[in-house]
Copies of this chain bind each other. A is one copy, B any other.
Amino acid sequence: MDWSLSIDKAIPKPLRVILRGVGQVFFCCNAVTGLIFLIALYVGGITAGLAATVGVISSTVAAYLLGFSDDDIDAGLYGFNGTLVGPCLFLFLENTPQLWLYVVLASILSTVVLAALMRILQPYNIPASTSPFVLTCWMFMVAVYSFDGFSRGPVLSAPGIPADIAATAVVTTEFATLTQEAVVAWYTAITKGIGEVMFADSVIVGILFLVGIAITSLRGALMAFLGAVAGVAIPICLGADKTLIEMGLYAFNPVLTMMAVGWVFLKPSTGTAILALLAGILTVICQAGLANFLAPMGLPTLTFPFVLVMWMFLFAASKSRYWANPQ
């Protein structure tokens, strides 16, 4: 919205770039939105907030030092992968002092990988999105088994969810009834689904994220909301694990897919909204497939289902008569 962009422009450049970097996690080049996201992260947990802060600063400063495009840095494009790297490593690896060094190193690498993927995808005019974060975190997480200095945190039992959290989740709720419990279950799953984009298993964090997105774009917030609804409804129809659904762990990928396809990268229209819904449904199936594929290696899917489906739809868009790509 206009007032938030005025504030965005008034913020001193270094701070603005960092806050935009946080905002870009949900495609929002807006420091006000980024500030709300960052506050939400600290609300979710001090460590997650600090890790995100260290990550976004490391990856952005690395981009300056390595001489990458000023315009891209200014838009926060070199910040959002670092923002995600920090909380991700602190969720999945053991919290030790060395882990901070690891977060800095991984954030720097995510910047190099982003520049590389931007170059690879340049002829196609397709964004790298969060793929550098995913590839970097996968590599660091699987490398850790070889090093004494680090160890894995709680063993993963499911896509992106530590075992102990899963155990405490209520699994008896019926989404399909019209009772008050069903309303609470839907409300919880949808908001947590938005929160889980940045690893926050929290209703309030999800609501704050949605408010932050709405400040930048109402259509963006609508797509995020519909993505979360799809990420709860579709796995229920297909008969997926209720605990995972309730944690929002099927929802955070369709949230991003529907925002990307239905708002950011294609011309906003009713047609692309329908397309976004199709993409969201396929993201849920892709999430289930990739989770099973990665399970033997103990790796979570992170946001790769979103990246894969978004790439397919954006590449395909350029072959279509109807889907204009304004970028």
Contact = CB atoms under 8 A, between A and B. Distances in A.
Interface of A: 66-69, 105, 108-109, 112-113, 115-120, 123-124, 138-150, 235, 237-241, 278, 281-282, 285-286, 288-293, 296-297, 311-316, 318-323
A288 B69 contact: no
Most buried by B among A124, A240, A319, A321: A319
Contacts of A318: 119
B148 A115 contact: no
Given A149-B238, A239-B148, A321-B67, A282 B116 contact: no
Given A116-B316, A119-B316, A321-B67, A288 B124 contact: no
A113 B315 CA distance: 9
Contacts of A118: 319
A327 to B, nearest CB: 14
Contacts of A237: 149
Given A120-B315, A146-B241, A313-B112, A320 B66 contact: yes
Given A113-B316, A148-B240, 6 more contacts: A66-B323, A67-B320, A119-B319, A146-B238, A146-B240, A296-B297
* 5 closest residue pairs by CB, A with B: A148-B239, A116-B315, A143-B289, A67-B321, A115-B316
Most buried by B among A105, A119, A313: A119
Contact of A312 (B105, B116, B322, B323): B116
Contacts of A281: 105
A119 B291 contact: no
A140 B290 CA distance: 10
A260 to B, nearest CB: 14
A146 B291 contact: yes
24 contacts: A66-B320, A66-B322, A67-B322, A68-B316, A68-B320, A105-B281, A116-B312, A116-B319, A117-B315, A119-B319, A139-B285, A141-B289, A142-B289, A142-B292, A143-B286, A143-B289, A145-B288, A146-B235, A146-B240, A146-B289, A147-B235, A147-B240, A148-B240, A293-B297
